[in-house]
Chain A
Amino acid sequence: MKNKNFFFYLLFFFLISYFYLNFRMTSYVIDIRREIFYLRFFRYFLCIFTGIVLTTSGSVMQVIFNNPLVDPYVLGISGGALFGFTLSSIFFRGNLFVSLLFSFIFSILASLISLSFSLSLKGEKKITVLLSGLLTNILFSSLVILLSIVSKNNSTSLFYSMMGSLNYPFIRTNLNFYLFVGFFLILSIFLILIKSKELDMISINEEIAKTSGVDVKKNFYILLLVVIFQTSIIVSFTGVIGFVGMIIPNIIKISGQTKNREIFFNSIIIGAALVLLADFISKYSFQYEIPIGVVLSLFSLPLLFLIVKINFENL
């Protein structure tokens, strides 16, 4: 039963990949097809990495916070990363490495702010985490807007970076750097995969996890750091894309998967496929591109409502 589902998802993924890479290709003149294919191929990988990172980091955070309604966006981590990225693109003229570093530093800062907010609030933890995330998000998004107004250079692309866009110009001379970043992303995903048994234990019962030899606190910080790392990289490439990381793991859980390793494998495939689909829609549904965040939010709103409803009934 479970394997059947997985193969269905895999089929879905390959189907979308095929369409994504080949759509309208024949309508282009032959001598530029190669150029366009390069462009598309890079964007295709960006989509896949975005999908994988968003969903895995979402499901990791849902476990370590014991809250099905969190993801890097909700907690304000993405907002901090975007602020760091904007800051570096103003002061360092978009140097790739510096921008990654800045977005990493500021997303750590954002998560610290968000965590300390939520720790200082008394009340139902599930809600205080969301509230403090909201505050952090407001803080950083207004800082981003302020920065782009002051610098006035970036104000046009601000809208797209706040709603997310995968329209990232690929530079061939930077290929090694992309591969380097991709390697680290794969490494971090691998780390999350091998941490799935710890996540299982933490998600079941923290006390049992502790007495079985899982260092809950250490794992919390390690995994949070990995999530922040992944998210900050993806945000500096695509801008802020919200809610995917929250919705997909929840859907997989509703569909009956309970072990974290299975949740990860499924959400990697579905996340990649869904981001590809959303990017496809955002690319071709109008004569010009619309931000992918808009597409995803619109389509996922009913699901989001459903998930919030289910989770607040259990609260």
Chain B
Amino acid sequence: MIKINNLKFSYVGNKDFIEIEKFSIDGNGIYSVIGENGSGKTTFFKLICNIIDFKTGEILLFNKNIKKIKDLSRMISYIPQNIYLHHDFPVRDFIKLGRYSRMDLWGNLNSFDEKELDDLLDSLGISHLKNKTCYSLSGGELQLVQLARAIYQGGKILVMDEPFSNIDHKHRKTIVKIIRELKKEKLILISTHDLGISFNISDHLICLKNGRIVEMGDADTISLKLDFIFEAKIEFLKIDGLFYFKEGE
């Protein structure tokens, strides 16, 4: 579904920051991007979502050049790293904005879409939030609302930048549950620093280092090369198919 050929990107005045010669993923599932801070995870996501523009190379979604796709919003939805809004906004209206491309002149949706929204909120278990405003929510609740907006937007690809940072354990579990449910019908790209989560939920892991993809594969393959990727000793245990990473001494 996603193909990248000879992609090169740099921020103004810097050297090439992202350099990907060939990259291709296909099929539903959860794809985790791991790497150190500054390895280019967020930039990589922004390139795929066409948020930032690039000069050389091409990105193909469903074999179409990303720059030529008119309704990209119906193929891919994005949750930024910083989920906090610049302005307060009612929760329900915020989720509604996911279907911007289907709105009429006055910003209204048809009754079918409205009903779908309420159903979605029910199924995610956040219908009690819909009359609140975004600033009154906790970080975990807000992440759920963002997720709801992204799901409501639709599309086969869901890109989530650091969905688990600053979120308590309870909400983490809820989000993981929702993502696991979603992966049956979507390609989900996640970046995270939490190796435990990424190794346990992902079908595929993509390792970024200095803007280059150094390794790709399933959890077992990658787990053997971790020390090389992070240039540090990383210890972990594998019990009953679950990874447990050792943190701290």
**Chain A interface residues (CB < 8 Å from chain B):** 66, 194, 196-198, 200-201, 203-205, 207-208, 210-214, 253, 258-259, 261
Q: How far is the CA of A89 from the CA of B136 in the complex (A)?
A: 54
Tell me if B97 is interfacial: C-beta within 8 Å of chain A: yes
**Chain B interface residues (CB < 8 Å from chain A):** 46, 49-51, 71-74, 76-78, 80, 82, 85-90, 93-94, 97-98, 100-101, 103, 105-107, 133, 149, 153
Q: How far is the CA of A196 from the CA of B78 in the complex (A)?
A: 22
A205 touches B85 (CB 8 A): yes
Q: Which of A194, A198, A200 contacts B89 (CB 8 A)?
A: A200
A197 touches B100 (CB 8 A): yes
B78 touches A208 (CB 8 A): yes
Q: List 17 A-B contacts (CB under 8 A).
A: A197-B107, A200-B97, A203-B86, A203-B87, A204-B87, A205-B82, A207-B80, A208-B80, A211-B77, A212-B153, A213-B100, A213-B101, A253-B87, A258-B87, A258-B89, A258-B90, A258-B133
How many A-B pairs fall under 8 Å by CB? 73
Point out which of A198, A207, A208, A213 has the most chain B C-beta atoms below 10 A from its C-beta: A208
A197 surroundings in chain B (CB, below 8 A) = 97, 100, 103, 107
With both beta carbons as reference points, the residue of chain B lying nearest to A66 in the complex is identified as B86
With both beta carbons as reference points, the residue of chain B lying nearest to A253 in the complex is identified as B87
Task: Determine how close the nearest CB of chain B comes to the CB of A44; give it in whole angstroms.
Answer: 29
Q: Given contacts A194-B105, A261-B107, are A212 and B100 in contact (CB under 8 A)?
A: yes
Task: Determine how close the nearest CB of chain B comes to the CB of A202; give it in whole angstroms.
Answer: 9
With both beta carbons as reference points, the residue of chain B lying nearest to A198 in the complex is identified as B100
B73 touches A211 (CB 8 A): yes
B100 touches A214 (CB 8 A): yes
Q: Which of A198, A207, A259 contacts B51 (CB 8 A)?
A: A207
Q: How far is the CA of A205 from the CA of B89 in the complex (A)?
A: 11
